[in-house]
């Protein structure tokens, strides 16, 4: 796992390019350590997650060892993969996943855990689980229907066929696709734009949208009223309001 920070933007790189960044227990520990460090850093504004060597990730590493593990050991590993995804979703900072090449299986769902998924037109998102007698993991059962609705989720999960980046964007599975030669610039521009927004408001918007599927309208209205009251009284709001009004005046 590579860890790089510039201008309060952190880039995490899955770094096993020879096997398409398939993840194992060591990568799991390294990414978890990185996420813990990011979560504790109040200056960090944005996280970018990508893969080395032209692919995002082919998912969990398949090996003969997996077949020899006990049910208890396998269950512990799967729970840790789930904690990994939860840690990404719980970050205060918005996460951009940058997808080149293959994002397959758990690798596809790791990509979909980002707040903004940017892929090349030819990137390949694949949910191959059904083809090997397995169900979705790393949050795929949660992400797919929320992103594209049940009909499209059934197609992707139950047929196990790939979807290219351009079609993924048009179906709402991901935020945006672009030509391969432009993806670095597109992601950098997006990260810079996000980094200029209010961190407190961004964190609460992220949390509120995630919670909204499990809340009634009454609960959401109560949550919004409480959190908006806190923000309106904050120094950060006053700072951003002053900047916003000055910018509007300058552009008038």
Count Cα atoms within 13 angstroms, Cβ side, for 252. Answer: 7
Cα-Cα-Cα-Cα dihedral of 30, 31, 35, 38, to 10°? 70
E-strand stretches of the chain = 2-6, 9-14, 46-51, 95-99, 102-104, 116-120, 124-126, 163-164, 176-178
Q: Where are the domains of the chain?
A: 2-195, 199-251
CATH (one of 3.90.1640.30, 3.90.226.10, 3.40.50.1110, 3.40.50.920) for 2-195: 3.90.226.10
Question: Are 107 and 137 spatial neighbours (Cβ–Cβ below 8 Å)?
Answer: no
Give the CA radius of gyration of the chain: 19
Angle in degrees, 0-180, between the axes of helices 25-40 and 71-90, rounded to the nearest 10: 30
The per-residue pLDDT string of the chain (252 residues; one tens digit each, 9 = 90 and over) reads 899 999 999 999 999 999 999 988 888 889 889 999 998 898 999 999 999 999 999 998 876 456 678 889 888 888 888 988 999 999 999 999 999 999 999 999 999 999 999 999 999 999 999 999 999 999 999 999 999 999 999 999 999 999 999 999 999 999 999 999 999 999 999 999 999 999 999 999 999 999 999 999 999 999 999 999 999 999 999 999 998 888 877 776
Phi and psi torsions of 119, nearest 5°: -130, 160
């Amino acid at each position: 796992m590579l860890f790089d920070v510039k201008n309060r933007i952190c880039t995490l790189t899955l770094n096993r390019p020879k096997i398409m960044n398939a993840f194992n227990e060591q990568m799991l520990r390294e990414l978890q350590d990185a996420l813990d460090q990011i979560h504790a850093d109040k200056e960090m504004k944005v996280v970018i997650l990508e893969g080395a060597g032209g692919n995002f990730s082919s998912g969990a590493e398949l090996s003969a060892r997996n077949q020899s593990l006990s049910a208890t050991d396998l269950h512990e590993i799967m729970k840790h993969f789930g904690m990994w995804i939860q840690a990404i979703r719980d970050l205060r900072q918005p996460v951009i996943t940058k997808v080149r090449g293959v994002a397959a299986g758990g690798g596809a769902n790791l990509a979909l855990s980002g707040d903004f998924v940017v892929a090349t037109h030819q990137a390949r998102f694949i949910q191959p689980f059904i083809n090997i007698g397995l169900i979705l993991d790393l949050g795929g059962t949660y992400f797919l229907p929320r992103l594209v609705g049940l009909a499209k989720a059934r197609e992707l999960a139950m047929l196990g066929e790939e979807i290219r980046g351009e079609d993924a964007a048009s179906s709402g599975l991901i935020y945006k696709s672009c030509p391969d030669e432009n993806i670095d610039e597109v992601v950098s521009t997006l990260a810079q734009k996000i980094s200029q927004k209010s961190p407190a408001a961004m964190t609460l918007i992220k949390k509120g949208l995630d919670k909204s599927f499990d809340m009634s309208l009454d609960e959401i209205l109560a949550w919004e009223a409480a959190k908006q009251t806190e923000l309106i009284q904050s120094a950060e709001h006053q700072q951003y309001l002053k900047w916003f009004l000055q910018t509007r005046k300058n552009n008038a």
